[in-house]
Structure formats: C-alpha cells, structure tokens
Amino acid sequence: MEGRATAAPEQIVESSRDDPLPVLAVDRLGEFGAAFRFAVFARGEWYADAIYARRWDGGWEEMGSGGSRGDGWVAPWVPPAEGWEGEALYVMGSGGLDVEDEHGSDAELCVVYGFAAPQVATVEVAGPNCDRAVPVSSNVGAFAILLVGTGEFTLTPRTGDGEPCASERRFSLRPYGA
C-alpha cells in the first residue's frame, strides 16, 4: 500500500496468466489502504480487482478484495483523449465492507476504481469529514479512491489547473443494516 509495487506502464498490453496482476494505483486514508489491479489476457479477456487493507502492527493486513471481469478489451490500450461519452472517469467498479473507524464508530469502507481521461490530474473527494484531492499519477490514468465513513460522497475529476473537467460521481455509504 506504500505505492512501491505499483506498475507504471505507458499503455495496457496483453499479460500472461502466469504473471501476478499488476497494481496500477493505490490510495491510503488513515489506517486504511486500497489497491487497483488490472490485466488484459489473450483474446481480450480482462480482470479488474480492488484490494482493501488495514495497517496493523507496522504492516498491511488484507481485509478483502473484489472485482469484475469481461472480454473484448483491445490491447495495446491507453485512455481515450475525449474520455467516455463525455465522462472523464471510467469507473470499473467499487467494493467494500463494514469497518470500525479510528474513533470506534461503525463505518463503510469503499474503494472506487477505474481509469481517468488524460486531462484528469486529480480526483477531488468530498464527503462527511473528508475533503481531499487524490492525484492520478498512473501513466494509463488508473485510479483507486478510498472512501471511509457514512453518508454522501462526491468524486470530481479536475485538471492540473484545478478546473472540473466532467460531471461529478456520487456514492452513498451506509454500514450493512444501517
């Protein structure tokens, strides 16, 4: 979760099933961390996965993971300059679980992951007790954004000048049973 194992490809190319899935983006928020893994295999089969972890005794303990898969992904690939039908974020998925936050309160941990168009420099996260900008530093626009809490969160893609470059995405978090 420190970012040292993050792959930095210039484009998405076909991977071997014998290789571990490359980590394209990571995010950390307090004691929690998230990673986005993505690979394209033969015949355009793809796999996207998010890993959730918590800092424990000086290291990271995996809490879970979840993802999606499909086919028809053409490699080599880079994010389209114009984005996706007017959107600057291509959210491939989200997943999470109930946690206890650093204050001992019930909360939802959610990882939103996918790709951003080339003009996106940061994704602004706004929500209850959370206002921050997550840099999109991946060469292929990969992002992993960690949300922790309850309530409404918005993700706004922004250019290097801080200007919004597409509509915001909204996520509502509630612990299971709440």
Rounded Cα distance, 158 and 74, in Å: 27
Rounded Cα distance, 37 and 67, in Å: 9
> Nearest 5°: CA angle at 90, between 82 and 96?
165
CB atoms within 10 A of CB 85: 7
How much is the pLDDT for 106? Answer: 84
- DSSP assignment letter at 76: S
**Per-residue pLDDT in tens (0 to 9) along the chain, 178 residues:** 555 456 677 889 988 888 888 999 999 998 999 999 999 999 899 999 999 999 888 889 999 999 999 999 999 999 999 999 989 999 999 988 998 877 788 888 999 999 999 999 999 999 988 899 999 999 999 999 999 888 899 999 999 999 999 889 998 887 666 5
How much is the pLDDT for 173? Answer: 83
Helix (H, G, I), strand (E, B) or coil at 119: coil
Give the predicted TM-score (pTM) of the model.
0.90
Give me 42's structure tokens. Answer: 């033969």
Rounded Cα distance, 140 and 10, in Å: 6
How much is the pLDDT for 3? Answer: 53
Taken as a whole, the chain contains a residue count of: 178
Give me 35's structure tokens. Answer: 């990673």
Q: Is 145:134 a contact under the CB 8 Å cutoff? A: yes
Rounded Cα distance, 20 and 152, in Å: 35
Rounded Cα distance, 144 and 12, in Å: 17
Q: Which residue in this structure is represented by tokens 């420190």?
A: 2
Q: Which of 31, 6, 54, 29 is nearest to 132 (CA)?
A: 29
CB-count burial class (<10 Å; 0-12, 13-18, 19+) for 24: buried
Rounded Cα distance, 25 and 115, in Å: 10
How much is the pLDDT for 176? Answer: 65
